[in-house]
Amino acid sequence: MARVLVVEDDQFVRSALIRHLTDASHAVRSVGTALEALREVAQVGFDVVILDLGLPDLDGSEALKMLRGITDVPVIIATARDNENEIVRLLNDGADDYLVKPFSVEHLSARMSAVLRRSRGGGAGNGSGHGDNAGVLRVGGLVIDPLRRQAELDGTLLDLTRREFDLLAFLAARPGVVVARKDLLAQVWQQSYGDDQTIDVHLSWLRRKLGETAARPRYLHTLRGVGVKLEAPRERQP
């Protein structure tokens, strides 16, 4: 069972989705506008959001960006738009999957199952041969427990989103190793393509929580045109 938020203004489509998802034993809530969706996500925990793009108050693509500012809940875009460039842009903006209308309820169920498996499984455990989930990772003052999905910095628990934790754990399992951006997209985002903005945004959020900036890095170091590495600070700051 999953907790699902359906964001759809077409009452017929909305009712059909609610009926199908409820019959499949999911707990479903539904709204018809982007602002209602943002309010629901901020107040209620969900496992997945099904987001229509043609909303009356705000285009779904803008709603997606706003959702990504407050949560990392998996989002499946439901759209009648089949332009490849727009689909790529939506994936880069944080969508986990998309469906082009009209689609069958069986197709939606299959996509939901795949997204939920990735979400619950976590992206950091997909590396090979480095023991990502073998035990606690320690890099300087960072202590990362992949199994419990907890991270501490100098004894203080970090409040990380799912994607931020996956990115941090993946890099921490390879301390001092420069990881190419395409490898981060493939292993952490599970995408075979994308642009640097996706990674840069999450690195910026992660740096903020680690108390550093791109101009004055402590743990996260970007090598322009090469990749990203995580290593212990050479000098500990008070």
- pLDDT, residue 135, reads 66
Residues 105 and 17 reside in one and the same domain: yes
**CATH number, position 156:** 1.10.10.10
Closest CA to 2 of 103, 118, 82: 118
Residues of the chain with pLDDT under 70: 119-135, 192-196, 235-238
Residues 69 and 155 reside in one and the same domain: no
Residues 10 and 116 reside in one and the same domain: yes
Residues 41 and 11 reside in one and the same domain: yes
Cα 17 to Cα 27: distance, rounded to the nearest angstrom: 12
Within-domain flag for 235 = no
Within-domain flag for 182 = yes
Q: E-strand spans in 27-128?
A: 27-31, 48-52, 75-79, 97-100
Paired with 77 in beta bridges are 51, 98
Paired with 27 in beta bridges are 3
Residues 161 and 109 reside in one and the same domain: no
Per-residue burial over 174-207, b = 16 or more CB atoms within 10 Å of its CB, e = otherwise: bbeebbebeebbbbbbebeebeeebbebbbebbb
Within-domain flag for 92 = yes
Sequence-ordered list of residues with C-beta below 8 angstroms from that of 138, at least 6 positions apart, any chain: 144
Domain boundary among 97, 121, 145: 121
Cα 136 to Cα 215: distance, rounded to the nearest angstrom: 29
**What domain range includes position 67?**
3-121
- pLDDT, residue 132, reads 40
Sequence-ordered list of residues with C-beta below 8 angstroms from that of 178, at least 6 positions apart, any chain: 223, 226, 227, 228, 229
Closest CA to 7 of 50, 65, 56: 50
Kind of pairing between the strands at 156-157 and 150-153: antiparallel
Report yes or no on whether pTM surpasses 0.75: no
Within-domain flag for 113 = yes
- pLDDT, residue 238, reads 46
Residues 28 and 56 reside in one and the same domain: yes
- pLDDT, residue 194, reads 62
- pLDDT, residue 195, reads 62
Residues 116 and 156 reside in one and the same domain: no
Within-domain flag for 237 = no
- pLDDT, residue 127, reads 38
Domain boundary among 91, 121, 151: 121
Residues 162 and 201 reside in one and the same domain: yes
Structure-derived torsion over alpha carbons of residues 86, 88, 89, 90, reported in degrees to the nearest 10: 90
Q: Which two tokens stand for residue 66?
A: 């706003």
The domain total for the chain is 2
- pLDDT, residue 110, reads 84
Residues 133 and 114 reside in one and the same domain: no
**CATH number, position 15:** 3.40.50.2300
Domain boundary among 87, 121, 155: 121
